[in-house]
Chains A and B, each alone.
Chain A
């Protein structure tokens, strides 16, 4: 993946900050990678190289870790993250049907991000809300007892939010324009 202008500088600055906070001991390696991902949303190759250099391990060792754990992402996530719980209780109450509904509606497969980078779809092993199955974690919110029909509702909510935001922006832009014209 090609980086955009200015991205490398941002990556370097964030990684340096995380390393400064965490130190460079081997035991801090996973917390460093977690910190970098928290800042950047994923682990760009350039960031992994910097971490390898600072902690003094080979680059491939960082890559081993980054590809071993579920949480680490090698590509930027969508603006909204949808995590469908695939724990036992969720599965038995139709978690897979919920996953398929999202896949169909977003036209992506689990683990992918929509081309407009609005949504990424992931499975999670279990979020521990088994009594409220099936469960979907949308960004930070846990949605309980999700029915297939709720999938549309969730996505519609974001759609409306986005449209409202666009409207706001248009309104602000036109107001600014009017102001400029008046001024």
Chain B
């Protein structure tokens, strides 16, 4: 059993198990920090969405809270000028490659991007940056599930869920701006060995993997 430590987040004293990652400690104590890629049980966090930045006393620069083990006496601020600026830019960058139009999205109302926008007062449209979105076809091959890669934020939740549940049918292919979630040989999901377990749909934080109504 790990030692219990006391940390301060935004002035609130919280006790937590030493070594637990700050993101989860904060969330479990009702303090919201934006996040998309975080998976609590993952030993090595991806730290890829770059939205969970916080400032910690004694550290020169903002840090990702999903990778930061808590230590006794740690003093954390979730809202500072630098943190807000980083998160705002990271968020808008994600939107440059995300098909907007919430009204037509099945995830409208339960989308994590909407949540982040609401919590942090961010706009769900591009203000400074330009769209780099490419036209991509929705994969409706499964019938019951629709996969729209143009709404995907590459958080990796579905890939993790799929590998935990099945032998692994989806993954991150290519790299850089072309990186995307797809299957072996980029065949439609129905031909990928998909078991229709539905786990990927459960974990998708945005409208990329949704149940077809």
Direct A–B touching, Cβ under 8 Å: yes
- A45 CB contact (under 8 Å) in B169, B170, B173, B185: B185
Extra contacts, 6 of them, besides A58-B169, A60-B183 (Cβ < 8 A), are A58-B184, A60-B173, A60-B192, A63-B185, A64-B173, A67-B174
- Taken together as a complex, chains A and B put the C-alpha atoms of A60 and B172 apart, in Å, by 8
* Beta-carbon nearest neighbor of B170 in chain A: A60
User: Interface digits, A26-60 against B, CB 8 Å rule (1 contact, 0 not)?
Assistant: 00000000000000000001001000000001111
A62 at the interface (CB under 8 A from B): yes
- A58 CB contact (under 8 Å) in B168, B182, B185: B168
- Taken together as a complex, chains A and B put the C-alpha atoms of A45 and B185 apart, in Å, by 7
- Taken together as a complex, chains A and B put the C-alpha atoms of A63 and B169 apart, in Å, by 11
B-side contacts of A58, CB under 8 Å: 163, 167-169, 171, 184
Pair A62/B174 contact, Cβ less than 8 Å: no
A-side contacts of B173, CB under 8 Å: 60, 63-64, 67-68
Interface size bracket, A side: 10 to 19
B-side contacts of A60, CB under 8 Å: 168-171, 173, 182-184, 192
Q: Closest Cβ of chain B: how far from A74's Cβ, in Å? A: 9
Interface size bracket, B side: 10 to 19
- Taken together as a complex, chains A and B put the C-alpha atoms of A59 and B183 apart, in Å, by 9
Q: Closest Cβ of chain A: how far from B27's Cβ, in Å? A: 30
Q: Closest Cβ of chain A: how far from B154's Cβ, in Å? A: 13
A61 at the interface (CB under 8 A from B): yes
* Beta-carbon nearest neighbor of B193 in chain A: A59
Pair B184/A62 contact, Cβ less than 8 Å: yes
B-side contacts of A48, CB under 8 Å: 184
Q: Closest Cβ of chain B: how far from A71's Cβ, in Å? A: 13
B-side contacts of A63, CB under 8 Å: 171, 173, 183-185
Q: Closest Cβ of chain B: how far from A139's Cβ, in Å? A: 27
- Taken together as a complex, chains A and B put the C-alpha atoms of A60 and B184 apart, in Å, by 4
- Taken together as a complex, chains A and B put the C-alpha atoms of A48 and B170 apart, in Å, by 15
- Taken together as a complex, chains A and B put the C-alpha atoms of A60 and B174 apart, in Å, by 12
B-side contacts of A68, CB under 8 Å: 173-175
29 example contacts (A-B, Cβ-Cβ < 8 A) are as follows A45-B184, A45-B185, A48-B184, A57-B168, A58-B169, A58-B171, A58-B184, A59-B184, A60-B169, A60-B173, A60-B182, A60-B183, A60-B184, A60-B192, A61-B171, A62-B184, A63-B171, A63-B173, A63-B183, A63-B184, A63-B185, A64-B171, A64-B172, A64-B173, A67-B173, A67-B174, A68-B173, A68-B174, A68-B175
A-side contacts of B170, CB under 8 Å: 60
Q: Closest Cβ of chain A: how far from B34's Cβ, in Å? A: 27
B-side contacts of A64, CB under 8 Å: 171-173
Q: Closest Cβ of chain A: how far from B209's Cβ, in Å? A: 16
- Name A112-159 residues within 8 Å CB distance of B: none
- Name A59-118 residues within 8 Å CB distance of B: 59-64, 67-68
Q: Closest Cβ of chain A: how far from B182's Cβ, in Å? A: 8
User: Interface digits, B115-138 against A, CB 8 Å rule (1 contact, 0 not)?
Assistant: 000000000000000000000000
- Taken together as a complex, chains A and B put the C-alpha atoms of A48 and B185 apart, in Å, by 10
Q: Closest Cβ of chain B: how far from A70's Cβ, in Å? A: 9
- Name B156-194 residues within 8 Å CB distance of A: 163, 167-175, 182-185, 192
A45, A58, A62, A68 — most chain B CB neighbours (10 Å): A58
